[in-house]
Amino acid sequence: MTYFNNKTIWITGASSGIGEAFVKELSQYDCKLIISSRKVDELERGKKEAGLTDDDCFILPLDLADYYNMKPVVEKAVSHFGKVDLLINNAGLSQRSLIAETDISVDEKLMQVNYLGTVALSKAILPHFIENKAGHFAVVTSLMGKFGSPYRSGYCGAKHALHGFFDVMRMEHEKDGVAVTMICPGFIQTNVSKNALTGDGSAQQTMDEATAKGLTPKKCVQKALKAIQRKKFETYIGRGEVKGIYMKRFFPKQLHKLVLRSQVR
């Protein structure tokens, strides 16, 4: 996939899971990587394991919840290698709690990190893309950005919001050479369910059975990179859960019944 050669690629949430898998896969190409998360030690580990050096990989700490201060972070990213060609918005939080048992502060946190932080970072780098007449946003949302499931109300809301925002980003800035690819994974073998927020804001700390049986992060990222290279508008990644996309469109009542029967946590 020569699309990634000679590009500078910025990956958020790069310290574990899908983000770390992006780092490993992209380390095989002739590109520069900027990797971000709050966990600098884990970024250092991932950089070392991927065989990357300071010449081709820059660690840039980032907290998406600090969304009013994205411009200085973008300035550091752009100045380090001189440009950014592709921003992979991957960082985020999940949720496992019923609506009636979830404090509003949890909904707020999910929106701050999953939506507002991602939007703020993307808006901060947009002028750079416009100036270069080229740029690509790849946004890791979820199948939950297309349909819903119990225990994920705030998470679904934030992921749905990303689709609305970035559909408009694509429409408004296609003329500027800006592309947008929405990446919608289903169940992937990561710590997303362990780190998921419960009703009081604490982490669940257990692995969901469906998550444990999901695709590997490597397989997910390989599919995602193909979609990015083709500049697809959206791509859906998973196993049987992907059919929910089409059921939502054509058979919404049947999907409603199916999801309730599945008892997915």
pLDDT in tens, the chain (265 residues): 789 999 999 999 999 999 999 999 999 999 999 999 999 999 999 999 999 999 999 999 999 999 999 999 999 999 999 999 999 999 999 999 999 999 999 999 999 999 999 999 999 999 999 999 999 999 999 999 999 999 999 999 999 999 999 999 999 999 999 999 999 999 999 988 888 999 999 999 888 888 888 999 999 999 999 999 999 999 999 999 999 999 999 999 999 999 998 867 7
Q: Pairing state of beta strands 178-185 and 32-36? A: unpaired
235 with 227: CB under 8 angstroms? yes
Tell me if residue 252 falls in helix, strand or coil: helix
Structural domains of the chain, count: 1
- Residue 256 belongs to domain with CATH number: 3.40.50.720
What's the pTM value of the predicted model, to 2 decimals? 0.95
Per the structure, the complete domain to which residue 255 belongs is given by 2-262
Give the residue numbers marked as catalytic: 155
Q: Which of 237, 250, 245, 243 is nearest to 18 (CA)?
A: 237
* Residue 87 Ramachandran class (φ > 0 left, ψ -120 to 50 alpha, else beta): beta
Task: List C-alpha distances in Å: 174 to 11, 166, 233.
Answer: 22, 11, 12
- List Cα–Cα distances, 92 to 142, 154, 234, 246, in angstroms: 10, 12, 18, 25
Residue type at position 55:
D
